[in-house]
Amino acid sequence: MADKLPEEEHPKVAFGWAARDQSGVLSPFKFSRRATGEKDVSFKVLYCGMCHSDLHMIKNEWGNSTYPLVPGHEIVGVVTEVGSKVEKFKVGHKVGVGCMVGSCYSCDNCTNDLENYCSQMILTYSAKYYDGTITYGGYSDIMVADEHFVVRIPDSLPLDATAPLLCAGITVYSPLKYYGLDKPGFHVGVVGLGGLGHMAVKFAKAMGAKVTVISTSPNKKQEAIKRLSADSFLVSRDQDQIQAATGTMDGIIDTVSASHPLLPLTGLLKSHGKLILVGAPEKPFELPAFPLLMGRKVVGGSCIGGMKETQEMVDFAAKHGITSDIEVIPVEYVNTAMERMLKADVRYRFVIDIGNTIKSSI
Amino acid sequence: MAKSSEAQHPQKVFGWAAKDTSGILSPFHFSRRENGDEDVSIKILYCGVCHSDLHSCRNEWGNAHYPLVPGHEIVGTVTKIGSNVKKFKVGDRVGVGVMVGSCKSCEYCKQDLENYCPKHILTYNSIDNDGTRTYGGYADMIVVDQNFVVHFPDGLPSDAGAPLLCAGITVYSPMKYYGMTEPGKHLGIVGLGGLGHVAVRIAKAFGLKVTVISSSPRKESEAINRLGADAFLVSNDAGKMKGAIGTMDFIIDTVSAVHALAPLLSLLKANGKLITLGLPNKPLELPIFPLVLGRKLVGGSDIGGMKETQEMLDFCAKHNITADVEVIRMDEINTAMDRLAKSDVKYRFVIDVGSSLSQL
């Protein structure tokens, strides 16, 4: 029996932009979404952030992409319908969905609010849902998600600049907390000033840290200090600057996923310092044992955050007035935006104005 | 002109030292300082042979100064105490481990973390406060600042207890720091040698489930029947390793040779921790994806502070934890070192210094 067409799989008509193959070129795509189940929240998508993961996935760089692929996991909008068993949301609420739309609910990780580490976690796009159909992301007009994986966005936060919190924001907030780098007065280094990096600076400052941005681009210094309020800036290729900062940091959040030397970063750590990787370079780290042991240092990773923590992060952002620095684009610009993202030519996140531009792009 | 080792200090001492990078040890006459106000003089009875002694003697870390008297698992009796020493009296049985000094004023020293003091002084191959070199426990006596001497609990035998002063604290400290003391959690221990076998015993005393991971299948029976481990994994048995994926909360890696970390990381559950204690002379390869996707971490640890070392000894005395030792004479040390290089020891050599080191 032939598989159903995307348009016919489900009862609700949906429209988005999808990549059809590894070229990653996105184009209009008609598909469908399930009816609002008893625990589902349906919402009209107003904005969707463009994450670098979207770029990796449309080009199948991780080898697990299913086409047609509708990316987007920084999705915000307004609730249009809720299922009969939904307790936390009402029609008209501002809501968001991030990188996950499902998990097993019963493993150790799920019961500890760590759905992101559940071995059966379901990604928002290009993954298989419980009903066997493929998930489609937020470069689309409507979204249906289980309420467990939906967060409430306080009215005080502007929707467009809040969208990137749902991936970039939680990705840096979670390790700042888990690895104990949220203590006032701590010195936190942030490697890479992009979508993740600029959020890390904002969160760390709000947590009371002194923040040093570490970057290969000297031209980002002005921004880092004047606009983002970082306390200092290190050019990572400048040996003298790196040397002068030896043993000064309590922790470093490394947001860079391109391969880069990690040894100099461990040198920047004080004794008991922690180097936390949230970008995932492909090449392994040549880890010399002596510095790790002699300073009881740690090299760790982190991957987004659980749902409880994601809501906590959004509320924290609302309390401290933290949003992402964005460039809003119409959906027709999305392929150009992907090319610019590849060259890191954005300050610091593209956000697609879905609400105003998706209908006219059909 | 630099003074000869014998003439540097007033007290004559006899021990065995490595004279060059061959690492071969031979009799060596040297000297130690007069017992100061803060000092304790110790007649050495036993000294454990740590793999670090081997690395140092053969200059495998590139920092050896010869002549080098190794030995940092020292047990002996107090023969003299300085005027400010209140904690010890003549005749007490005491131990000295890996350090003999620190700055005493930095944030680490103040938190009883002398081992992380940037100026801490090692028991051997280091520079003491007076600018002279430190010499270790392969010798008839040692003079040590009281803050770096520990009481040896009554229940602990001197020979089988000596290795606790380095091997013991080296595994005890990370178990506490990295939160491995919750009963029922699953700990993997890589390498069943001096550190590994003591780690099994301490971990069992903490109520952990223990799996030994080793490249030697012949160690399985020992691990389970004698040491009390719950399970044994042969690290190059791909099938068995696969079956254990994602089952461990922690791993303590005691192996000092260069080896692959990726298979060990896969054994950890999400949020698991791999603590590496060995000091190979080349870097280890650490893949990043598993760290990120599973929020795993790799951490280091280096011996322990003095307060924690005393706590560890008291814990071991309470739980009857000692090392499995092969007691040797001083003049057997070179053969022992060769055997140690081939891991041919169950599981620590301990030199009977008191009986076998004699003036020639």
Q: Which chain A residues contact residue B272 at CB under 8 A?
A: none
CB within 8 Å of chain A, chain B residues 169-228: 177
Q: Say if B314 falls within a structural domain.
A: no
A residues 27..46 contacting B (CB < 8 A): none
Round to whole Å and give the CA distance between B87 and B278.
Answer: 33
| A1 confidence band (pLDDT: 50, 70, 90) | very low
B66 touches chain A (CB under 8 A): no
CB B298 within 8 A of CB B274: yes
Q: Are residues B146 and B178 in the same domain?
A: no
B158, part of any domain: yes
In a domain, B334, yes or no: yes
Nearest CB neighbour to B280, from listed A289, A295, A297? A289
The residue among B265, B283, B300 that closes a domain is B300
- Statement to judge: residues B124 and B173 lie in one domain: no
pLDDT tens column, A142-163: 999 999 999 999 999 999 999 9
- Residue B312 within any structural domain of the chain: no
In angstroms, the Cα distances linking B126 to A327, B11, B24, B28, B256 are 58, 19, 20, 18, 21
Set of chain A residues whose Cβ sits within 8 Å of the Cβ of B300: 289, 291-298
Nearest CA in chain B to A300: B297
Q: What is the pLDDT of residues A44-67, one digit of tens each?
A: 999 999 999 999 999 999 899 999
pLDDT average, residue stretch A338-355:
95
Q: Check A288 against B283: CB less than 8 A apart.
A: yes
Kindly report the nearest CA distance between residue A331 and chain B, in angstroms.
30
Cβ atoms within 10 Å of A319's Cβ, excluding its own: 11
For residues B13 and B119, state if they share a domain. Answer: yes
Tens digits of residue pLDDT in B131-168: 999 999 999 999 999 999 999 999 899 999 999 999 99
Q: How confident is the model at residue B360 (pLDDT cuts 50, 70, 90)?
A: very low
- B316 inside domain: no
Residues of chain B with C-beta less than 8 angstroms from the C-beta of A271: 108, 116, 118
Q: Do A289 and B279 touch (CB under 8 A)?
A: yes
**Is residue B320 assigned to a domain?**
no
Angle between helices A168-178 and A307-320 (to 10 degrees): 100
Asked if B302 lies within 8 A of A294 by C-beta distance, the reply is yes
Residues B243 and B276 in one domain: yes
- Cβ-contact A30, A136 below 8 angstroms: no
Interface-testing mutation among A266, A282, A285, A297, with chain B (most B C-beta atoms within 10 A): A285
pLDDT at A68 exceeding the cut of 80: yes
The CATH number linked to B192 is: 3.40.50.720
What's the average model confidence in pLDDT over B168-173?
A: 98
Q: Which two tokens stand for residue A44?
A: 């009209």
Asked if the Cβ–Cβ distance from B291 to A271 is below 8 Å, we say no
Task: Give me the residues of A, 256-315, that contact B with CB < 8 A.
Answer: 271-272, 274, 277-282, 284-303
pLDDT band at A262 (very low <50, low <70, confident <90, very high): confident
In chain A, which residues have their Cβ closer than 8 Å to the Cβ of B265?
none
CB contact under 8 A, B279 and A290: yes
Q: What is the pLDDT of residue A57?
A: 96
Nearest-angstrom CA–CA distance, A195 and A204? 15
CATH number at residue B54: 3.90.180.10
Interface contact flag, A287 B284, Cβ < 8 Å: yes
Is B294 part of a structural domain of the chain? yes
From the list B277, B288, B300, the residue facing A280 with the nearest CB is B288
Percent of chain B with pLDDT over 70: 99
B293 & B329 share domain? no
Other Cβ atoms within 10 Å of B84 Cβ, number: 10
Q: Does B2 touch chain A (CB under 8 A)?
A: no
Give B109→chain A minimum CA distance, Å. 13
Cβ contact B299–A303 (<8 Å): no
Q: pTM of whole model > 0.90?
A: yes
Cα–Cα distances in angstroms (integers) from residue B113 to residues A270, B101, B312, in the given order: 14, 12, 14
User: Are B146 and B197 members of one domain?
Assistant: no
pLDDT value, residue A362: 72
The percentage of chain B sitting over the pLDDT mark of 90, rounded to a whole number, equals 92
Number of C-beta neighbours around residue A355 at 10 A: 18
B271 touches chain A (CB under 8 A): yes
Chain B residues whose CB is inside 8 A of the A293 CB are 276-277, 279, 300-302
Q: Which of B176, B89, B96 is nearest to B141 (CA)?
A: B96
Cis status of the peptide bond prior to A68, with omega within 30 of 0:
yes
The residue among B285, B300, B315 that closes a domain is B300
Give the pLDDT confidence of B69-106 residue by residue, as tens digits. Answer: 999 999 999 999 999 999 999 999 999 999 999 999 99
Q: DSSP letter string over A176-243?
A: HHHTT--STT-EEEEE--SHHHHHHHHHHHHTT-EEEEEES-GGGHHIIIIIS--SEEEETT-HHHHH
Chain centroid offset of residue B131 CA? 25
Residues of chain B contacting A297 with CB distance shorter than 8 Å: 299-300
pLDDT tens string A102-129: 999 999 999 999 999 999 999 999 999 9
- As a whole number of angstroms, the distance between CA A74 and CA A62 comes to 20
Q: Which tens digits make up the pLDDT trace of A295-329?
A: 999 999 999 999 999 999 999 999 999 999 999 99
Helices (H), A59-179: 108-111, 159-162, 168-178
- Print the domain residue range for B19: 5-164+325-359
Mean pLDDT of B13-39: 97
pLDDT average, residue stretch B249-277? 94
Whether residue B153 sits in one domain with residue B177: no
Looking at residue B280, its pLDDT comes to: 80
What is the pLDDT, as a whole number, of residue B258? 84
Please check the confidence at residue A2 and state whether its pLDDT lies above 80: no
Distance from CA of B115 to the nearest CA of A (A): 8
Distances (CA, A) of B296 to A280, B246, B250, B286: 13, 11, 10, 12
Chain A residues inside the 8 Å CB shell of B291: 277, 299-301
B49 and B143 together in one domain: yes
Q: Which residue of chain A comes nearest to B284, CA vs CA?
A: A287
More confident residue, A361 or A123: A123
**Residue B115 placed within a domain:** yes
Q: Which residues of B touch A61 (CB under 8 A)?
A: none
- Contact at CB, B270 and A280, closer than 8 angstroms: no
Please tell me which residue of chain B has the smallest CA distance to A266. B299
Overall average pLDDT of the B13-27 stretch = 97
Q: Per-residue pLDDT tens for B189-245?
A: 999 999 999 999 999 999 999 999 999 999 999 999 999 999 999 999 999 999 999
Measured between CB atoms, which of A272, A287, A296 is closest to B286? A287
What are the residues whose beta carbons fall under 8 Å from the beta carbon of B21, sequence distance 6 or more? B58, B59, B64, B66
B51 and B150 belong to one structural domain: yes
Q: Cβ of A285 and B286 within 8 Å?
A: yes
- Tens of pLDDT, residue by residue over B281-318, are 788 899 999 999 999 999 999 999 999 999 999 999 99
Instruction: Confirm if A99 and A310 have CB atoms less than 8 A apart.
Output: no
Q: Do B293 and A296 touch (CB under 8 A)?
A: no
Q: Are residues B113 and B176 in the same domain?
A: no
pLDDT of the residue at B146? 98
Q: Assess whether B134 and B79 both reside in one domain.
A: yes
Number of domain units in chain B: 2
Q: Per the CB < 8 Å rule, is B286 touching A288?
A: no
Asked if residue B154 and residue B54 are part of one domain, the reply reads: yes
Q: How confident is the model at residue B2 (pLDDT cuts 50, 70, 90)?
A: low
